Chains A and B, each alone.
Chain A
Amino acid sequence: DVKVTQSSRYLVKRTGEKVFLECVQDMDHENMFWYRQDPGLGLRLIYFSYDVKMKEKGDIPEGYSVSREKKERFSLILESASTNQTSMYLCASRPGQGYTEAFFGQGTRLTVV
């Protein structure tokens, strides 16, 4: 069974704090993704990575950065958290080849106050 694990289920942070969201997968997948999900807007891609140290901007990268130092770990960083970054954050991974599905972590519900 593929396992994608996000470090926190719920997180409350203050405006201006630097926030780290961690994601680890155990299936040696090349591709990893960070999405945020908001009511009425669906899942929107923030960043993705197709290999160690490689990253690409998604549709809404502003205010975020990422780090992929090891294949199994993909971190999302909020440089200076703002209230409009309150959201559900979902990490996903999938193999680099072929047309198989993506697997998701359980999500982190982040509240910025």
Chain B
Amino acid sequence: RKEVEQDPGPFNVPEGATVAFNCTYSNSASQSFFWYRQDCRKEPKLLMSVYSSGNEDGRFTAQLNRASQYISLLIRDSKLSDSATYLCVVLSGGSYIPTFGRGTSLIVHP
């Protein structure tokens, strides 16, 4: 079983839609959680950290459920420019190694 699992999608949504991605992780000792965004043929870039209390950044909301070991990302009012792959990342182990999910592809169409 992979340590970090995501639905690969693609999620194909119209502009203005609300879309949610989930991610599960297997290591209950994981300490930190992030969502990264990756555009085609580019490097991953941090979208937002995920805090236990949940956090919001504009149209993006991230939630963490430690008991169930899952993380979610909600995107409201989708824009064409949101089209990308979203990577769930978990920091684990004594060396805080970033472990990645395989990514969820989002396509926002007019």
Chain B, 2-23, contact with A by CB distance < 8 Å: what is the 0/1 string? 0000001000000000000000
Whether A43 touches B87, Cβ cut-off 8 Å, given contacts A99-B31, A101-B46, A104-B45, is yes
A40 CA / B102 CA spacing, docked (Å): 7
Chain A contact patch, size range: 20 to 34
Interface residue count for B (Cβ, 8 Å)?
A: 23
Chain A, 77-113, contact with B by CB distance < 8 Å: what is the 0/1 string? 0000000000000101010100111111111010000
* A50–B43 CB distance below 8 A: no
* A105–B31 CB distance below 8 A: no
Which residues of B are at the interface with A, using a C-beta cutoff of 8 A? 8, 31-32, 34, 41-46, 49, 87, 89, 91, 95-103
Which residues of A are at the interface with B, using a C-beta cutoff of 8 A? 31, 33, 35, 40-43, 45, 48, 50, 56, 58, 90, 92, 94, 96, 99-107, 109
